[in-house]
Each structure stands twice: as structure tokens, then as C-alpha cells.
Amino acid sequence: MKIFLRCLGMYPKESILAPLFKLLEACFDLCVPLVVAAIIDKGIGGSDSSLVWQLCGVLVLLAFVGLAWAITAQYFSARAAVGSAARIRRELFAHMQSFTYAQTDRVGTSTMITRMTSDVNQLQSGINITLRLLLRSPIIVFGAMIMAFTIDVELALVFAAAIPLLAVVVFGVMLGGIPLYKRVQSRLDRVTAVTRENLSGVRPIRAFRKEGEQIDTFSAANRQQTSLQNKAGMLTAIMNPVTYVLVNLAVILLIRQGAVGVDGGRLTQGEVVALVNYMGQILVELVKMATSIFTVTKAVACGNRIGGVLAMPTGMAVTPTPDGTPAPTADTPAVVFDHVTMTYEGGGEPSLQDVSFTARRGMTVGIIGGTGSGKSTLVNLIPRFYEATEGTVTVFGLPVASHDLPTLRARIGVVPQKAELFKGTIRSNLCFGVENVSDTELWKALEVAQAADFVREKEGQLDAVVEQKGRNLSGGQKQRLTIARALVGSPEILILDDSASALDFATDARLRKALRELAGDPTVFIISQRTSSIKTADLIIVLEEGQAVGMGTHEELLGSCEVYREIHESQFKGGEAQ
């Protein structure tokens, strides 16, 4: 509800003017039954045709003026709704961008997509309805009751009795609908998640013939969503028939008692018609209010969900540097792991357990192990994408928790396991996160990444078009461009997370040779499934189930580490590649 009210506060002028013009329109609508009563009693009753035409002209004038006020109110309400939704969407996007990896994992990608799209759209509709219709309906309802009292107090008591009963029905359904629609939106997250998983994993699903299983999973999520939606729909469906019954009973009572009043000379026929018209207006407005309330109910539920995300604290706290910490020197190690253990939130067993090593400046560190052994977890702790559960990760002489994050990450180049490119050009992708880079620097990075040759062959070269996710490039080309992107900022630490898996052996060898010859002697971490890619590393770390089961050079590990020897022998037989 706070987000909903905050959206209204973003456009205070529009939030006041929209209901004000709706109030003016409602006042004109409330005058219509009185004009009709005058036509019946004075025009038709007095056989005055000229008066009838004059009053009909008044009705047309009321319609046109009311229409002008309605359009003006719609303009201001739409401006407030669309504008506040745009601001909330922008704020939500910026807030999510500041999430840590752990917070992103906890919230979930599908949930964030739903918040940014469906929830914000529902909030926008709720604000529009609130300003345009929801405030108009009470004005008409209570205005009609007041006008009824000006006509006849006895019959106006019917209005006084009917309106509270109708309010009980409307607000009772609304209170029951809020938690239901909140659950509906939560189930929508699950449907979105399953759909996204299927779209992103369509190839392995087909490769392992899991189409039927995925269809069943989606159908189950969809059935749950449909079941809740049906319950909410059934609750909504109760409102209209109940309100129609109550209003029509009130109309019957009005006509019966009005006939008695006309027969006794207390009322005129036009006044009875006016009272029936007022009751009809109440019926129409209550139906509108019912629809509006459900829209607003969903909007409030969605606003609460958005507020929950916005209320989440973001970022990582920076711990002050301990007193007496020596200033970094040229001999200070680049990276030190001191008995580091890492357990993901909600994870049962540690993904990394009691790992210790030292990587000095200019060293190449190879990391190898089976799937799920903790290789990516280890390197993700260096730029502080995740926090170590136990132990200390030190970078350039300071614990990572004491570094300013933007400054720390500016000194580290990361090539993720999955090559990610963005829609634009090769230049825009290479300059991602780095400003004022010359073409010479870009070509130098491409040369080291072994990507210069194919870039020169493309039309436009550095300005060649890159489609979304690099769909117009091969897997090897995408990997080489992501390596070049990491090299553009001349990082002091370079992390290659299995980023050469799509390269052939010759290209991989040239890449490793170029990395060893980089200016500035950066510390390079290479995660690879191939022992050939890391055999020249100064230090090789062998991981198995999160534990370092071997450390040393290639020759040392062949003699001392059974796990490393088995990996190497599975890839080479008699000294030749299989």
C-alpha cells in the first residue's frame, strides 16, 4: 500500500485535478434525473412542448460538458499512472542492478521479471482506475442519496438502507480478494520461471528427450495458477448478482412506495422517475466500483510485492581497514586464500571448504576439477561476487571486505563461464564498463585474445553489428570477444572461467602464449577442463567436492595427485591427444 500511495504522491497536481474533474462530471450526472423529472412534470404534464425541447437541450449540454470534464480527468489520471509507473520501473531496475550475486539468487530471475513487467503494469492500471473511476463512484452513490433526500425523505430511507448493505458486499469481497490475488501473482512467478527455463534450455531438453517431462512440469504450474485464478474469479462473480438483487429489490420498493405517494398527492410522477434513476445510477456505479476495487486490489497486492523488493538492502558493507595493516608493496601477493570456506545461502554442504593458497603478482594459476567441484565459486570470491562463509580472501594486501567494490573490480578482469555479448557493435561490447578507450587499445586486446583476424574480416570491423547474445557469432568468436573485453581495461588480475572451451587446441595455445607475454604482469587465473590449457601454469589447484586435493606444478601433480593424473590420462594417451 505504501508504494501505491507513493505513486500518487509522485504527481500531486494530477492526483488532485483528476478526481476534481471527475467530481464536476459527477455533479452534472446528478443533475440529469432532476431535468428528466422537470420534463415529465412540467413539460409533458403541462403540455408545454417548447419547455420539453428546452430541457432536452439542457440534457445535451450537460452531456457535452460532462464529456469534456471526463476527458480532462482521463488525461490527468493517465499522466499520473503512466509517469509514476515509469519512475517505479526505473527505480526497481536500478535497485535490482545493485543486488549482489547472493541476493539475485535469492530473489530469482523470474521473480524480478514479473516485478518489472506484470506487477508494475497492474500498479499502473490501479492508479489510473483509482483516480478516474474509484473516486467517482462514491461521489455518485452518496450524491444520489443526498439528492433523494431533497426529493422525499421517506423514500430516501430506502437509499440509506440499501447503500450500507451494498457496501458490506463490495468491501467483503474486496477483503477476500486481496490475499487471493497476491497468491495468484506469486504463482505467476512459478509459471514465468518454468517458461524461462524451457526457453533457455530448449537444446538440452531436446537432446535428452525431456520434452514430455517439461510439458508435465509446465502443465502442473499452469494448473495451480488456473485453480487460484478460478477461485479469485468465482469470488469476483459473486459481487455482480448480489448487488443487482439488492438494487432491484430497492427499485421495487421505491416504485411501490412511490405509487402510494403519487396516489396520495405527496409525490409527482417525475419525482418517482428521478428516484428510480438515482437508484439506477447507484447500481451502475457500484458495478463500476466492484470492477475498480478488484483492479485496485490487484494493484495493491502487486505494489506490496514491489515494495518488498525495494525494501531489500543492497550491496555489501565495506569493513574498515584494520589498524596497523601495512601498505601494499610490489612484493605484496596479489591474492591470498586463508582457510576459506564458502556455503551458498540455502545450500546444505559447503561448495568450497578450507582452501588456502597464495598467488603472487605475475603468476598464472590453473584451476581444474570435475563439474560442481567449486572452481567458479573460488574465483567468484576474488572480486567479491560472493562473501566467504569462513576464512579470509586477501587481494593486494587487504581483505576483499575492506576494498571499495568499484575500485576493486576495476582492477580485475573477469571472463564468465558463459560468454555474454550485448546487442550493439564489437566496439560497444569491448568498451563495456570502460570509458575513453582508443582503437589501438581495442586492437591490442583483440590480438591477445586471438580475435583480431575474424574482426578484420567483418564489414565495419570494430563497428560490425553484434546481435543480441551474439547470435551472429560462433561460440569460439563469442569467447574470444569476451576475453578481449576483459583485457581492455588492463586488469591487474585476470580471471578466465573456462572461457576457452570452444577454442581449438592451436588457438588455445596461442592465447595462453599471448597471456604470458602481457604487459604489466597481471595475475591470471585459468579455469579449464583441459590439462593442456593449464600445464604451464605456475600453480595448479585441483578441486574435488569443494576441497583442494592437490596443489603444485603440472609435473608435481602428475606424481602426487591421483585426481589430476586421472584427468590428464583421460585426455591423453601415450602423450598424444585423444
Q: What is the pLDDT of residues 497-512, one digit of tens each?
A: 877 777 777 887 888 8
Q: Examine the domain organization and report whether 205 and 251 are in the same domain.
A: yes
Nearest to 336 by CA among 312, 318, 363: 363
Q: Is residue 330 part of a domain?
A: no
**What is the CATH classification number for the domain harbouring 27?**
1.20.1560.10
Q: pLDDT at residue 525 above 60?
A: yes
Q: Report the alpha-carbon distance of residue 290 to residue 176 in Å, rounded.
A: 13
Q: Examine the domain organization and report whether 384 and 289 are in the same domain.
A: no
Q: Examine the domain organization and report whether 467 and 402 are in the same domain.
A: yes
Tell me how far CA of residue 226 lies from CA of 198, 218, 230, 443, in angstroms: 20, 12, 6, 55
Q: Report the alpha-carbon distance of residue 378 to residue 398 in Å, rounded.
A: 17
Q: Which three cell numbers stand for residue 313?
A: 538492502
Q: Examine the domain organization and report whether 383 and 243 are in the same domain.
A: no
Q: Is residue 445 part of a domain?
A: yes
DSSP-derived letter for residue 318 is P
User: Which of 178-182, 326-330, 572-576 is the most confident on average?
Assistant: 178-182
pLDDT value of position 242: 82
Q: What is the pLDDT of residues 425-467, one digit of tens each?
A: 888 888 887 877 888 888 888 888 888 888 888 888 888 888 8
> Total structural domains in the chain?
2
- Side chain identity at 85, as an amino acid letter? A
What is the extent of the structural domain holding 34? 2-310
> Cβ–Cβ contacts within 10 Å for residue 44, how many?
15
Nearest to 258 by CA among 381, 151, 129: 151
State the average pLDDT for the chain.
82
Q: Examine the domain organization and report whether 441 and 521 are in the same domain.
A: yes
Q: Is residue 329 part of a domain?
A: no
Q: Are strands 493-497 and 523-527 parallel, antiparallel or unpaired?
A: parallel
Q: Examine the domain organization and report whether 116 and 196 are in the same domain.
A: yes
Q: pLDDT at residue 351 above 60?
A: yes
pLDDT value of position 577: 43
Q: Is residue 318 part of a domain?
A: no
What is the helix, strand, coil percentage profile of the chain, to 5? 65, 10, 25
- Side chain identity at 340, as an amino acid letter? V
Longest dimension (CA), the chain: 118
Q: Of 157-171, 204-218, 361-375, 533-547, where does mean pLDDT reach its minimum?
A: 157-171
Q: Is residue 326 part of a domain?
A: no
What's the mean pLDDT in 133-150? 81
Instruction: Please say whether the beta carbons of 240 and 290 come within 8 A.
Output: yes
| Exposed / middle / buried, residue 310 (Cβ in 10 Å: 0-12, 13-18, 19+) | middle
Nearest to 525 by CA among 487, 498, 485: 498
Q: Is 237 helix (H, G, I), strand (E, B) or coil?
A: helix
pLDDT value of position 10: 81
Q: Which three cell numbers stand for residue 261?
A: 405517494
The domain boundary, picked from 310, 345, 374, lies at 310
Q: Examine the domain organization and report whether 163 and 49 are in the same domain.
A: yes
Share of the chain above pLDDT 90, in %: 0
Q: Examine the domain organization and report whether 293 and 386 are in the same domain.
A: no
Q: Is 345 helix (H, G, I), strand (E, B) or coil?
A: coil
Q: Report the alpha-carbon distance of residue 7 to residue 123 in Å, rounded.
A: 9
DSSP tally for the chain: helices H, then strands E: 20, 14
Q: pLDDT at residue 2 above 80?
A: no
What's the mean pLDDT in 281-308? 78
pLDDT value of position 575: 47
Q: Report the alpha-carbon distance of residue 393 to residue 384 in Å, rounded.
A: 9
Q: Report the alpha-carbon distance of residue 34 to residue 18 in Å, rounded.
A: 26
Q: Is residue 452 part of a domain?
A: yes
DSSP-derived letter for residue 338 is E
**What is the CATH classification number for the domain harbouring 565?**
3.40.50.300
Q: Examine the domain organization and report whether 193 and 240 are in the same domain.
A: yes
Q: Which three cell numbers stand for residue 312?
A: 531489500
Q: Is residue 315 part of a domain?
A: no
Q: pLDDT at residue 1 above 70?
A: no
Q: Examine the domain organization and report whether 282 and 403 are in the same domain.
A: no
pLDDT value of position 302: 81
Q: Is residue 146 part of a domain?
A: yes
Q: What are phi and psi of 97, to 5 degrees?
A: -65, -25
Burial 535-571 (b: 16+ CB within 10 A, else e): bbbebbbbbbebbbbbbbebeebeeebebbbebbeee
